[in-house]
Every structure is written in structure tokens, then in C-alpha cells.
Copies of this chain bind each other. A is one copy, B any other.
């Protein structure tokens, strides 16, 4: 149940209506690993600059994240800064400084090449394809992407899609990729271009899994306080793939539960700034919230005779 993740390890500066933080630990591979490592060993591949506070990653190593594949290069680390609107539903990127990430070429250590479960974080699809060339026989490949690649690297992205089992994107990305506003049709379009499965994330409105056989909907968990949405999508992915790798199955019963583990993980991620809440999180807390999701959506089978004279 080895799980390989390739993605960004970054320093985020975030401003929300509740405060701000500077150069806090961020990046897709970081959030993903923090979530997934509650369930299985994680092998992380990424790059940071010579200015990166490596001690901030100690909690990941303690949880069994193998950082052998994390390069440290001469130069500045990837930095992102953004400001959220008063309702946290939109954000403006103030600055993206790629630093050493601009020349990132994922090198998969030999000890990682037998990974069975793979998550390709949101990076250039050319690099995502390159990762797939370096691994031996993956059992389940999930990947993320974004509008930047959909617009700028469409042919490469379409080549990548033929080689992944699951694409996990947000609703606007699914719409842009497929050219169809309707999410159900957008998902069917994506499935016709490669992935057997599509997860469409809708932020506070939940997430939908489309497979060939069924559709499953996971709501957003109703929270009284949302502090910082940064990383919620990658935490979702970490909970989702981490759970599947843990149980060693992508059967429907586990895919459905994985959606709830993902949604639960996303709901924890937003409760504190940056990665703070995931650092202190325990499998039991996640389990309890997954149970609460069942309370939130379960209803007894309807009885036709009850409503039909």
C-alpha cells in the first residue's frame, strides 16, 4: 500500500477576513501527504529552495512520509500569496513566485518506483507524464490539474488523461476542460477521454464521484467557522487516495467511503490557517466526522405503498 505523491511544497502567505500568515507551509504535495499519511506510508517527490525551513516537514516524517524524493535546490522556494473575499468563496492571487519549482523535473527515487497508488498533484502535464514513465506498475493513478494547463497544455493533458484512472478537478476546471457547463455531461466527456473515474470538487457545496457504474455525492460538512480554505482540495485528495491505499481497494464500497474521508479531511483543513489543523489531526477524529457525515445524509428507504394509494 505504498502511495507516491508528486507536487508542490511551498510557502504560502494568506490573508483572510480572520487574519493573515506569512510564509506558512503549503503546497499540494504537503497538504496531500498530511492527510494521506494518517492512513498509509507516503512517498513524496518535490523540490524546495535553499531557504526552505525543512524542520516544518518533521511532522510528516514522524507520520511515515518518506522525503527521500524531496530535492533541495539552490535558489528560492515556491511562494504563493493570496487574499480571500469576506465570504471565503473567492480569492485573488497576489503573487506567484515559482523559484526552484520553475525548473522542477521530478526524479523518482528507485525505492519509490514500485508505488502502487499514485497521486499526481497539479503540475505541468508533461511532468505528470514523465512521472508515469518512471514508475513500474502502478495500480491506481489519480491526478489533478488546473485551468492554466487546460488552456496552455491541452494536448499534453489529453495524453495524460489516457493514462490515469481518476481525474480530480474542481467544477470550473471540469467545465473548461470539457467545454460543457453541465457537470454530468462534463464528467462523461472526461471519462470518454481516458479516466474511468472523475471527482468534481465544488468547495463548500461538496464533491461528486462519477464512475461508469454509479454517481456518488459527498456534501460539504457544515461548519460554524471556516478560517482558511487553502489546501482543502489537496487534503480532500489525500483523504480519498490515502483511504483507498490503506484498504487496498478501489471497489465501489470503498470509493464511496473514500469520498467521505476526502470531504471530512477537507472540512478539517479549513478549520485553521494553512496546514495547522491537519498537523494535530488523529484518525479517530476523522472517523468520528465520517460517522457524522452519515448522520447528515442517511435516510430510510422509501416505501412506495406509503405514498401511492
Contact = CB atoms under 8 A, between A and B. Distances in A.
Interface in A267-309: 283-284, 286-287, 290-291, 294-302, 304, 306-308
A18 interface: no
A297 B184 contact: no
B205 A222 contact: no
Interface in A193-252: 202, 205-206, 208, 214-217, 219, 222-226, 243, 246-247
Contacts of A224: 182, 184-185
A261 B306 CA distance: 13
A184 B219 CA distance: 14
B283 A294 contact: no
A215 B296 contact: yes
Contacts of A202: 205
A39 B307 contact: yes
Contacts of A215: 222, 295-296
A216 B182 contact: no
Interface string A169-184: 0000000000001111
A103 interface: no
How many chain copies? 2
A299 B182 contact: no
Contacts of A87: 181
B256 A300 contact: yes
Interface string A7-31: 0000000000000000000000000
B290 A294 contact: no
Given A219-B219, A287-B304, A302-B290, A86 B256 contact: no
Contacts of A214: 295
| Size bracket of the A interface | 35 or more
A294 B299 contact: yes
B299 A260 contact: yes
A253 interface: yes
B217 A297 contact: yes
A217 B296 contact: yes
A145 B300 CA distance: 30
A257 interface: yes
B259 A299 contact: yes
A301 B307 contact: no
Given A215-B296, A216-B297, A287-B307, A181 B86 contact: yes
Nearest to A242: B307
Interface of A: 38-39, 86-87, 181-185, 202, 205-206, 208, 214-217, 219, 222-226, 243, 246-247, 253, 256-257, 259-261, 283-284, 286-287, 290-291, 294-302, 304, 306-308
